[in-house]
Structure formats: structure tokens, C-alpha cells
Amino acid sequence: MAIKKLRPMTPGTRFRTAPAFAEITTATPEKSLLVTRKKSGGRNNDGRMTMRYIGGGHKQKVRVVDFKRNRFDIPATVKSVEYDPTRTSYVALIYYIDGVKSYIIAPEGIKVGQTVISGREIAPEVGNTLPLANIPLGTIVHNVELKPGKGGSMARSAGSYAQLLARDGKYATIKLPSGEMRLVLTECLATVGTVSNSDHMNETLGKAGRHRWLGRRPRTRAVVMNPVDHPMGGGEGRSSGGHPRSRKGLLAKGKKTRTPKKYSNNFIVSRRKK
């Protein structure tokens, strides 16, 4: 993955950095796996704005991605690596030998023509999906399940990965991208490898218009609002706004918001880094 620096021909390209798309092999998605994305503009069913700073943006088609990978012991061939406008990572189109087509999260280094497979007694190679019980300790994985059969829900964004650290009884210890170490059932599936497009974090949009293309409207800072609109608003001249807090008055910048009696506290070995 590489990032290209554009020539400063216009103010919008002066600071812009963009992906080189070296891994992308086709620009035409598989029609049978597309769903139209309906945009809300931040409005609810009454037409009232319930989420600010949302609206506009380019039309997008959602790629139906298979996070479950539960077609065991059926080999599939990678046909293409594609761009997905609704997520940060790339997706890979795979054809199973029985004719079924599917999208999966593309791991780093996956190539067209490569064979991927899901199962219990298979090799832990990049793109293959196995239960945590069958993956060697220390392996880098992504698309990790929290509940068996539910589908992967952890480590799915661009460049992210988790690491399998230990196994004890029916639980495995994995280290998540946030630094948190938690217990997960060894029956849960995970895919070997790192998620593609690791340079996504190095992209610079370059101009306000590209934010609008993504459906993001301008965000108003709290300190420039009036007191009726935000606890940090008001004051004569440029006031600091007091202690950072949300619009509803909840303290920010370090206040713990996790529920003390959350059901999953027993599964967390060590919390994420501050």
C-alpha cells in the first residue's frame, strides 16, 4: 500500500495525500452483491434532525460482506480486490467452487488467483478462517467473532489486527487494536492476517469539499455557540468555555463512561491504554 502526494496545482491539492490503489484490480463491483444505501441526512421518521453534521455526499452502494465465513471446507478463489466506499478497508470478491460468490474483508497481501478456505483442520494462512482453538499462539488475526456463529465484529477497519496470546480451557486471550486484552471463546472464528489499506490513516482530504463528498457537514465548535446551545458556549470575547463537556453536560477528556456493572467486565484481562 502506498500514498501518493499530489502536485499543488490548486489550493485543494496542496496538502492532499491520496491512496495509490495499487492493490485494486477492478473498478466494477459484483452486481448481485450490491445494496443501495439510503441516506437519512440526520433526520428521523418525523423529518426532524436528530444527528447534526450529516447530509449530502456521493451516492454509494453497499457491498454485502460475509463476516461469518461459515462455508467450511469449501475452497474459494480470489477473483478481484475492490474499493468499498462504505468502509476503510478493501474487499475481496471470492468464487467458491460450487459457484457461490461472496465479498470478504481483504487481508493485507492477498492476491488474485489465491485460494482461501474456512474450516477447523486447515492451514493458518493469510485469508483462511479458523476457530481460535486451531490457530497457533502469537498469530495475527482480524475479523474476530465475539459470539460463535454471529460473525466477525472486532478488528475489521483498515490496517487493524488482533493477536492471539494464550489459551486456557474454553477461553482464548487476544490483544485488540486498542491495547485491551480480553477473553474470547475458542469456538469463535477469526481470519488470519492484517486488514488491508494500512495507509488509510496517512490520507489527508485536503479541502472541505471532500468532507462534503463523504456526507460530512461542517462541525460547529462548542465554544462559539450560545449558552442555550451548549454548556461551553457564551462569554465575552474569546472565552475558553470551561471544562470540556458534551452538549448534555457529560464531562469529556478522561471521565470514564463505561458502565461499572457491564456484563463483559469479567472477560477483560486488562483495559485499553489511556
- Whether 169 and 258 have beta carbons less than 8 Å apart is answered as no
Q: pLDDT tens across 113-168, in order?
A: 999 999 999 999 999 999 999 999 999 999 999 999 999 999 999 999 999 999 99
Concatenate the DSSP letters of all residues of 42-98 into one string. Answer: TB-TTS-B-STTB------EEE-B-SS---BT--EEEEEEE--TTSSS-EEEEEETT
Domains and CATH numbers, the chain: 19-201 (2.40.50.140), 220-269 (4.10.950.10)
Task: State the Cα–Cα distance between residues 122 and 182, nearest whole angstrom.
Answer: 25
Neighbours of 200 (CB within 10 A): 19
Q: What is the pLDDT of residue 233?
A: 92
Q: Bridge-partner residues for 35, per DSSP?
A: 62
pLDDT tier for residue 1 given thresholds of 50, 70 and 90:
low
245 three-class SS: strand
CA distance 112 to 93: 9
Grid look-up 466506499 returns: 85
Is 0.85 topped by the overall pTM?
A: yes
* Overall average pLDDT of the 79-84 stretch: 97
pLDDT given for residue 113 in this prediction: 96
Give DSSP secondary structure letters for 130-155.
EEGGGSPTT-EEESEESSTTT-EEES
Chain segment 54-80, per-residue pLDDT in tens: 999 999 999 999 999 999 999 999 999
pLDDT in tens, 182-207: 999 999 999 999 999 999 999 999 99
